[in-house]
Amino acid sequence: MPRARAPAPAEAGGERPRRLRSSPAIRGLVAETDVRPSRLVMPLFVASHPSAAPPGLPALGRRTAEATAVEAGRLAKAGVRNVLLFGIPDRKSPDGRAAWDPKGPVPSAIRAIKASHPDVGVLADVCLCEYTDHGHCGVVVDGTVDNDRTLPLLARTAVTYAGAGADLVAPSAMMDHQVAAIREGLDEAGRTGVGIVAYAAKYASSFYGPFRDAAGSAPSFGDRRTYQMDPRNRREALRELRLDAAEGADVLLVKPALPCLDIIAEARATFDLPIAAYQVSGEYAMLRAAADAGRLREADAVAETLGAIRRAGADFVVSYFAGSYVPGPDGGP
């Protein structure tokens, strides 16, 4: 049987895309997307009493403020120069008042990091779920999270973190007008230089479970669907993003990341602000479990998923893989 003849260059329009895939050097030269450590943010859990990470999830352990500063220094040496802090208090209360305690876990960690590693960028999550005894993200009145009673508490928490030295505060409670309340609070406190990373499009996702275990923040009743977004909605996400941008957000964040690549892409196309995405604990656990079972190679999967998030339009990614991510010749571990 005669061998099929390859089309002549003229017949194929001279198109041979494989020419630019011939080696790691050439692929790196023309790569459209990179995932450098400087584009990653590592979440860290701070508590007065450290605890080991759950089996198979090494990034979800709790550290003291001092140990958090040591870890931030290690990350910075590897090129991951920014961390996102979550606090677990010794005592919880109905209003989550430990969140704005200047001696609490997050302010203590911020001061420790800035004292030993002043060039590390510190983002501080602003929410009450880790601090309330009911596990919801705001004040509960008659069984319902009261939006407007929660706003001044979020603002007070943000001002406390800013006073400790945080570079950016990241409100994640999904209360209406939380960005405006925090911006007003920061400005009145003279903290006009502290930026806001708004969890603008945060869905009520099934991928948050490992985080809630690590942070001890699972709600004791009901769920968070009255304030976190319905995963079926796209237009609503754009509305939330637009509102937070109008209220003074400096960065707009989409959470979770992989199930929301379309939202990240639309945010990038719509807004001039930096766009961030959070590769959440369930995404981390899913990839880790598959790798531990021998179903995939973790390094390749991490590079591919982080690359997809960046390709969709995220300027930076919060990821539990940040602590172990070292770019290789093709832009991955």
Interatomic CA distance for residues 128 and 46, integer angstroms: 15
Q: How much is the pLDDT for 214?
A: 79
What is the rounded average pLDDT of the residues 221-227? 83
Residue 98 sits at the vertex; the CA angle it makes with 163 and 140, to the nearest 5 degrees, is: 120
pLDDT of 3 above 70: no
> Whole-prediction pTM value?
0.92
Q: How much is the pLDDT for 329?
A: 46
- Find all residues with CB under 8 Å of 110, minimum gap 6, and list them: 85, 122, 124, 161, 164, 165, 166
User: Mean pLDDT, the chain, as a whole number?
Assistant: 92
Interatomic CA distance for residues 233 and 205, integer angstroms: 12
Question: Residue 121 in 3-state DSSP?
Answer: strand
> What is the band of 330 on the pLDDT scale with cuts at 50, 70, 90?
low
What is the rounded average pLDDT of the residues 190-197? 97
pLDDT of 161 above 80: yes
Q: Report the candidate in 248, 312, 247, 309 with the shortest Cα–Cα distance to residue 283.
A: 309
What is the rounded average pLDDT of the residues 23-49? 92
> What is the band of 222 on the pLDDT scale with cuts at 50, 70, 90?
confident
What are the distances in angstroms from CA 170 to CA 56, 84, 250? 28, 9, 10
Helices (H), the chain: 24-30, 65-77, 105-116, 147-164, 178-188, 209-215, 235-246, 261-270, 281-292, 298-312
> What is the band of 6 on the pLDDT scale with cuts at 50, 70, 90?
low
pLDDT tens string 294-308: 999 999 999 999 999
Q: How far is CA 230 from the centre of its chain?
A: 19
Q: So which residues are the catalytic ones?
A: 202, 255
- Contact (Cβ atoms closer than 8 angstroms) between residue 182 and residue 158: yes
pLDDT tens string 90-137: 999 999 999 999 999 999 999 999 999 999 999 999 999 999 999 899
Burial annotation 272-303 (CB, 10 A radius, 16+ → b, else e): ebbbbbbbbbbbbbbbbeebeeeeeeebebbb
Average the pLDDT over each of 94-98, 133-137, 209-213, 282-286 and give the range with the smallest value: 209-213
Interatomic CA distance for residues 58 and 72, integer angstroms: 16
| Residue ranges of domains in the chain | 34-251
Interatomic CA distance for residues 86 and 102, integer angstroms: 14
Interatomic CA distance for residues 153 and 254, integer angstroms: 23
Q: How much is the pLDDT for 211?
A: 78
pLDDT of 328 above 60: no
Residue type, 289: A
Average the pLDDT over each of 33-42, 51-60, 189-198, 214-223 and give the range with the smallest value: 214-223
pLDDT of 189 above 60: yes
Residue 256 sits at the vertex; the CA angle it makes with 250 and 262, to the nearest 5 degrees, is: 85
Interatomic CA distance for residues 333 and 328, integer angstroms: 5
Average the pLDDT over each of 112-126, 135-149, 189-203, 238-252 and give the range with the smallest value: 135-149
pLDDT of 10 above 70: no
- Per the model's pLDDT, the better-predicted residue between 210 and 204 turns out to be 204
What is the rounded average pLDDT of the residues 160-174? 97
Supply the CATH classification number for the domain 34-251: 3.20.20.70
The DSSP-derived string for 220-284 is SSS-STTTSBPTT-SHHHHHHHHHHHHTT-SEEEEESSGGGHHHHHHHHHH-SS-EEEEE-HHHH
